[in-house]
A and B are shown apart, each in its own frame.
Chain A
Amino acid sequence: GAGVSQTPSNKVTEKGKYVELRCDPISGHTALYWYRQSLGQGPEFLIYFQGTGAADDSGLPNDRFFAVRPEGSVSTLKIQRTERGDSAVYLCASSFSGGEETQYFGPGTRLLVL
């Protein structure tokens, strides 16, 4: 079946603007994760959903970032009042049920804030 998909693949925005990044997990996967990868670094955890609820949002850097998963499938990461420091690749992953299950990643959205 299809893997994790993310849209858009690239996003260029201006400082102060609002952006939405979308993740479509593997069908049937209940767990969904967002990570952020800055240049030259490994991915850093942002938030984890189990079903519709955010089980762990400890990685969100501040209140400009929030994410939703209203129907337990597609998730949207929303960034308000973007800053240049938000420029990074935003990766989404899903796993069958969380826990020890392997996380499978999408291709990422490359965000550039000018």
Chain B
Amino acid sequence: AQKITQTQPGMFVQEKEAVTLDCTYDTSDQSYGLFWYKQPSSGEMIFLIYQGSYDEQNATEGRYSLNFQKARKSANLVISASQLGDSAMYFCAMREAYNTDKLIFGTGTRLQVFP
């Protein structure tokens, strides 16, 4: 059964510093996709970054990068130069290509950025 694990219920980081949010996954499929979403207090899930299992390079989107270690089945999100507006819940999710399109989410990490 597929599973996403986020072991950090909460993280603190000082403004302008970098922070890593951990995500490990479990799947027996060779083809899958990994996603990170941000959920501010308003409730909307905001797409941040995507990594395909066959992508050879780590994905990057502005201040977000995904540290993809396939052998370890980890897909950690790195946020560089943290901003106060980065304070939110962050969810890691997986989609298995040969299953349906549903996303399996972890339990999330609450990030708080302080001045």
Contact = CB atoms under 8 A, between A and B. Distances in A.
A103 B103 contact: yes
Interface in A57-113: 58-59, 89, 91, 93, 95, 98-100, 102-108, 110
B45 A91 contact: yes
B97 interface: yes
B103 A108 contact: no
Contacts of A59: 102
Contacts, number: 65
Measured as residues with beta carbon below 8 angstroms from the partner, the interface class of chain A is 20 to 34
A106 B91 contact: no
A35 B44 CA distance: 12
Give the size category of B's interface with A: 20 to 34
Interface centre among A43, A44, A108 (most CB of B within 10 A): A43
B43 A107 contact: yes
A56 B47 CA distance: 22
A35 to B, nearest CB: 8
Nearest to A46: B102
Contact of A41 (B42, B100, B107): B107
Contact of B101 (A99, A105, A110): A99
Contacts of B105: 42-44
Interface in A40-57: 40-45, 48, 55-56
A99 B100 CA distance: 8
Given A100-B33, A102-B50, A45 B45 contact: no
Interface of A: 31, 33, 35, 40-45, 48, 55-56, 58-59, 89, 91, 93, 95, 98-100, 102-108, 110
Interface of B: 4, 33, 35, 37, 42-47, 50, 52, 91, 93, 95, 97, 100-108
Sorted nearest first, the 8 A-B pairs with minimum C-beta distance are A42-B105, A105-B45, A45-B102, A56-B100, A107-B44, A98-B101, A108-B43, A43-B105
